[in-house]
Amino acid sequence: MPRPDLALIRQRYAFACGYCGGSEVSAGGILTVDHHCPMSAGGDDSLDNLVYACIRCNQHKYTYWPTKEEIKLSFRVLHPLQDVLAQHYRLNLQTGRLEALTETGRFHITLLHLNRPQLVRHRLTQQLREVMEGKLALLERQIHELEETITAQERYIAALEEQID
């Protein structure tokens, strides 16, 4: 079966790692394609089995596929487009770390090293950027409102000066 076009896979994952969320921009280039179910475990090149992944997540996952015993223990890798990730883990906005909500989430985070220092730093930096962008937008709106107020006051003063003359 021919592999789907890399451009389609990249677009499907919004140009970011399906596992950790790291973007092509933060990685400095195109990422890799991971077989969610490895070929060695019966996986194929179907679009639903291919996950756009950064090199680190791909290396950490490698050829892992759960055994029947591991599945009973909830040890499996979540599929970024098929699982509801928010049911399994959440982002702690204070620490930038992912916190498990389920055993599957805990296993997923641990296997893929999703709280590695670089990712935590990236998440915190992204949050700070978003806060700063919000503050900048607010300040720009305030400046615009002040400029309108100044213009209105200048017109009022000019009208008063005309009345005096």
What confidence tens digit (pLDDT) does each residue in 14-71 have?
999 999 999 999 899 999 999 999 999 999 999 999 999 999 999 999 999 999 999 9
CB 26 within 8 A of CB 62: no
Cα–Cα distance measured from residue 126 to residue 8, given in angstroms and rounded to the nearest whole number:
26
Nearest of 20, 110, 13, 119 to residue 70 by alpha carbon? 110
| 75-98 per-position pLDDT tens digit | 999 999 999 999 999 999 999 999
Residue count (the chain): 165
Asked whether the whole model's pTM tops 0.75, one would answer yes
CB 123 within 8 A of CB 109: no
CB 114 within 8 A of CB 19: yes
CB 95 within 8 A of CB 127: no
The domain limits of the chain are: 6-115
Q: What pLDDT is recorded for position 1? A: 45
